[in-house]
Amino acid sequence: MTVRHYLICSLLCASYAFAAEKNQIVSLSIIWKLVPGQVTKEVLTKRFGKPDEVLDFKKIPSSKLIGEEWIYKQNGRNRVTFTFTETSDSLDSWVWLLHEGEPEKDLIAAKKKFQSIEWQVQTEKWINPHAFPMECFYKDEKQGISLTYNIVRKEVSAISRWNPSRKIASDTDEKPPEFCLGTACTPAISAKEFFKDKSVAKYCEEVH
């Protein structure tokens, strides 16, 4: 083997090894160890390298959020998103997207994966008056964890974790968004009003 061939082989092997290592690193078991409030941008960069995409909330039209999202992909698809507030380099939250064939897509299996969790069921805060809630959120606010469950496909689509000690701005004066059907627009219905005479948990478990 010539020196040129040796160098080419070394570079190719190194790139394959890096790709394999990155795919192995980005796994739910690894991400779960990244506790929001205890991890910084520097730690993530050293562990995973630079993100594939960075979304600055200030560049989004009409956005009231301040901060940014770091998006990492796996096999060309979004896999995990880390969120930071503008005032700190400390990780505020992360969302892990589940892909086809993963055991956690089953709601029962996903619940069993996390121990000592007291699940409370919620739906979207504002509900489209022309439709029904499509997603349910199984949350433990004290521990800062949530499972996003699609009631039509009957599968968990995402697992989220956040810093439970973070301060959340009051939204008591928030106005409901409008949903339009053709030229007719109607204000959204609050989840509290929608479920005033029915159980959220029962609704989420029904066959739709």
pLDDT in tens, 69-86: 999 999 899 999 999 987
Please give the domain boundaries of the chain with CATH numbers for all domains.
18-97 (3.30.1450), 101-165+177-208 (no CATH)
pLDDT per residue as tens digits for the range 148-167: 999 999 999 999 999 998 76
Show the 3-state SS of 74-96.
ECCEEEEEEEEECCCCEEEEEEE
Band of residue 8 on the pLDDT scale cut at 50, 70, 90 = very low
Categorize the per-residue pLDDT at 24 as very low, low, confident or very high, splitting at 50, 70 and 90.
very low
pLDDT at 207: 59
Question: Of residues 89 and 86, which shows the higher confidence score?
Answer: 89
Pick the range with the lowest mean pLDDT from 20-24, 49-53, 122-126, 158-162. 20-24
Quote the CA–CA distance of 26 and 20 in Å, as a whole number: 10
Q: Could you give the CA distance from residue 42 to residue 44 in angstroms, rounded to a whole number?
A: 5
User: Given phi > 0 = left and psi -120 to 50 = alpha, else beta, which region is 62?
Assistant: left
In this model, does residue 25 exceed pLDDT 90? no
pLDDT higher than 80, residue 92: yes
